Amino acid sequence: MYLKDYFENTTGVGVLSTADESGHVDAAIYARPHCMEDGSIAFIMLDRLTHKNLETNPHAAYLFIEDGGGYKGVRLFLEKIREEKDSKLIQQLSRRCPVPEGEKAPGPRFLVFFRLKKILKLIGGETPDLSL
């Protein structure tokens, strides 16, 4: 199965972990990633701690736990390659996960692109049957 199909058809909870240049770690709830045509993985983010960490340390890990009980899911090991600020592409992709009614996200939004360095199953060191 392709990673794009997996994330389009599988629901669950995702956590994106980053660290600053000194190694201070942060973890935040994030929606499923966008799998782009060029093979990159992208997340929409505000200018908060996760985004600030990625300005000084391009490495991140995304843990996705599938709905349905048990411990099924994937771990993605990522490296930031570029970002866009307040682009039309962000508006197009945002429709998938609308902001809750009445909430407005303050400040700029960024579309941050990552290269997939490694993918593992949620539990253990095995590579899942997924490809870009």
pLDDT digits (tens, 9 = 90+) for 9-41: 999 999 999 999 999 999 999 999 999 999 999
State pTM to two decimals.
0.90
Instruction: Calculate mean pLDDT across residues 78-97.
Output: 86
H helical segments located in the chain: 3-9, 49-56, 88-94
Q: Residue 115: what pLDDT?
A: 98
Instruction: Calculate mean pLDDT across residues 66-88.
Output: 94
- The model's confidence at residue 69, banded by pLDDT at 50, 70 and 90, is confident
Taking the C-alpha atoms of residue 65 and residue 86, their distance in angstroms, rounded to an integer, is 29
pLDDT digits (tens, 9 = 90+) for 50-65: 999 999 999 999 999 9
Q: In this structure, how many other beta carbons lie within 10 angstroms of the beta carbon of residue 26?
A: 15
Answer positive or negative: Cα dihedral of 116, 121, 123, 125: negative
Q: Which two tokens stand for residue 118?
A: 């490694």
pLDDT at 92 over 80: yes
Q: Residue 48: what pLDDT?
A: 95
Taking the C-alpha atoms of residue 32 and residue 4, their distance in angstroms, rounded to an integer, is 10
Q: In this prediction, what percent of the chain has a pLDDT beyond 90?
A: 77
